Amino acid sequence: MDPSAIAEAISHTPRQIKDYIKCKKESIENKFSFEEDQKLIELYQKNIRKAGELVKYFPNKASWMIRNRIKLLFRRNQIGPNATTITFRIDKEKIESSIIPLAIPQLLILDTSHVNLEEKPSQKFYFPSLNMPQNHENEKQFSITYSTNVIPKFELPGTDK
């Protein structure tokens, strides 16, 4: 494949075609991870500033990707004279030891023993409150009116019909 012939056919430059072929062959990713950003900042601070030189340290990145990332880091003030970057390293074992597993909540099972499912299509279902006694007078804290041809109606405590 001749990049210059392909470039003429699709109105691109040969450099664009070569970069595209290289990206496809080497499976180059254009997303930078946090670690790659930190490495790029460190190398830039060590006066390795040309994208062509930085490509040696990032085998899965193209030079134009590195150049654009440097420009982005300049805009974010992470590189340059006014840089506000804080570099830090965290020990993974320290983080994993400080993670406390969450408790699994108990399942809420609604008592539907007093509901007759063989009634007319329009009926009310009452859901008992969690901390209330199990008599049906106190259960009208939250209810849904269900009908086959009407949107469900919600009733909350203290609201009038």
**What ranges in 46-85 are assigned the alpha helix state H?**
51-54, 63-75
Structural domain contains residue 19? no
CA 2, CA 11: separation in Å to the nearest integer?
14
Structural domain contains residue 138? yes
Structural domain contains residue 99? no
Phi, psi of 80 (to 5 degrees): 120, -170
Q: Check: CB of residue 114 under 8 Å from CB of residue 140.
A: no
Question: pLDDT value at position 59?
Answer: 83
Range of the domain at 144: 106-161
CA 81, CA 125: separation in Å to the nearest integer?
67
Q: How many domains does the chain have?
A: 1
Question: pLDDT value at position 31?
Answer: 84
Structural domain contains residue 144? yes
pTM, entire model: 0.42
Structural domain contains residue 98? no
Structural domain contains residue 76? no
Task: State the 10-residue block means of pLDDT for the chain, 161 residues long.
Answer: 86 87 75 89 89 88 89 86 66 72 66 64 54 52 51 57 53
Question: pLDDT value at position 78?
Answer: 83
Structural domain contains residue 139? yes
Question: pLDDT value at position 127?
Answer: 56
* Percent of residues in the chain assigned helix, strand, coil, to nearest 5: 35, 10, 55
Phi, psi of 145 (to 5 degrees): -95, 125
Q: Write out pLDDT tens, residues 120-157.
A: 555 555 555 555 555 555 444 555 555 455 555 555 66
Structural domain contains residue 121? yes
Question: pLDDT value at position 66?
Answer: 92
